[in-house]
Amino acid sequence: MSSFFGRRVSVFSVVIMVSGLMLGFLFGLFLPLAVSAKSERVAAYEEVAAQSAVEEVTKIAAEKGKDSPEYGLAYETLPGSKKYNGPGFAQSMSVETRESWLSWMQANRSDSPEFLEKRWELAENFVKNSKELKRTEDLRAFLLVPREHFVRAVNRGFEYADTWLPIGYGATITDPDVVAMMTTTLNVQPGDKVLEIGTGSGYQSAILSYLTTEVYTIEIIKPLFIETDQLYRDFEKSFPSYGSINRKLDDGYYGWEKYAPFDKIIVTCSIDHIPPPLLRQLKPGGIMVLPLGPPSRQYIMEVKKEVTETGSIVISRRDVYNGMGVKFIPFRNEAGSSYRAVQEEE
């Protein structure tokens, strides 16, 4: 017999207890490693698949020459004349009640039924409680886009969780409530030319495609650009508004001069200043929405550009969340460094 904390227990009991502790320790040590290894293998596979697509694009670009818009960081997908009337389609959708919306969706779309209820509940919360969806047009656009298309496989089950999720390559799909607030703040009108900086998963531009036929989006991470570009192509037949999204692989800091000026600009990566090239490409009377602030904490700012009678440009800013901070991934250049105001001054 042995003594354990002043109580007498058998040697057999001690052996059992020690063995259990050792097994628990080993289980706690190696299970996370195993899961992590599995996640790394999945990420590696996606990276290889994306890199394969990149190599194919590079090969095509090399064949077409350096002057081709597909060369290097100038790779573009320009649907051109494919101007599907997404806003018109959205306008026909009933949103008076859950029942009328579900009936309309079943009659006009082929969305997965298991996600429709979740999408309605999330949108209803943003309308009634958080007030992050303020316009009927934005509500319709939000309800028309299946978030499940843009959440990557590793996060299945969290499609309608109100949180950001990783999509690989150090990028994320933004929280749906922040997407709703930024979209509402843009106040997109039919026919507005809208530029998005940071295509990411493709979710934000998909929503914009039901508000206007003039959507332009730029992504700097090459594998992510290829992946999302292919995703749009895969779903285009069933969701034709995706086919009218103009997308480009490039450094979004400098905007898209060829198609400027823009009525609205939305930036989905954090920066501590308003990029001057984007401000120049914003029309007078236009709105830019971006997460502004240092790396530790940003604030969603609505930036308006006005021109006075004397020709002076006046810039006004408004914190749309009234002091509540957010956290976005950094706005990076081609070398992977974050843009900072000090760098611009130098």
One-letter amino acid for residue 78 of the chain: L
Burial (CB count within 10 angstroms: exposed 0-12, middle 13-18, buried 19+), residue 37: exposed
Burial (CB count within 10 angstroms: exposed 0-12, middle 13-18, buried 19+), residue 183: buried
Locate the domains of the chain by residue range.
2-56, 75-345
What pLDDT, on the 0 to 100 scale, is given for residue 75? 78
Asked if pLDDT for residue 154 goes beyond 80, the answer is yes
Mean pLDDT of 20-26: 47
N- to C-terminal Cα distance for the chain? Answer: 77
Range from 5-19, 26-40, 242-256, 284-298 carrying the lowest mean pLDDT: 26-40
What pLDDT, on the 0 to 100 scale, is given for residue 11? 55
- pTM of the shown model: 0.78
CATH number of 75-345: 3.40.50.150
Task: Look over the chain and give the mean of its residue pLDDT values, rounded to a whole number.
Answer: 82
Asked if pLDDT for residue 217 goes beyond 90, the answer is yes
Binning pLDDT at 50, 70 and 90, where does residue 83 land? Answer: confident
Structure confidence by residue, pLDDT tens digits, 156-215: 999 999 999 999 999 999 999 999 999 999 999 999 999 999 999 999 999 999 999 999
- Percentage of the chain beyond pLDDT 70 is 76
Asked if pLDDT for residue 291 goes beyond 70, the answer is yes
Range from 42-51, 137-146, 315-324 carrying the lowest mean pLDDT: 42-51
How many residues can be counted in the chain?
346
Asked if pLDDT for residue 319 goes beyond 70, the answer is yes
- What would you report as the CA-atom Rg of the chain, rounded to the nearest whole angstrom? 24
Q: What is the DSSP letter of 162?
A: S
Question: Helix, strand, coil % (nearest 5) of the chain?
Answer: 45, 20, 35
What pLDDT, on the 0 to 100 scale, is given for residue 82? 67
Binning pLDDT at 50, 70 and 90, where does residue 152 land? Answer: very high
Mean pLDDT of 9-17: 52
222, 214, 163, 165: which is closest to 188 by C-alpha? 214
Burial (CB count within 10 angstroms: exposed 0-12, middle 13-18, buried 19+), residue 146: buried
What pLDDT, on the 0 to 100 scale, is given for residue 31? 35
CB 194 within 8 A of CB 216: yes
Q: Please state, in angstroms and rounded to a whole number, the distance separating the CA atoms of residues 2 and 282.
A: 80
DSSP 165-224: EEEETTEEEPPHHHHHHHHHHHT--TT-EEEEE--TTSHHHHHHTTT-SEEEEEE--HHH
Highest mean pLDDT pick, 13-17, 29-33, 215-219: 215-219
Asked if pLDDT for residue 42 goes beyond 60, the answer is no
What pLDDT, on the 0 to 100 scale, is given for residue 344? 45
262-267 and 245-249 as β-strands: parallel, antiparallel, unpaired?
Answer: unpaired
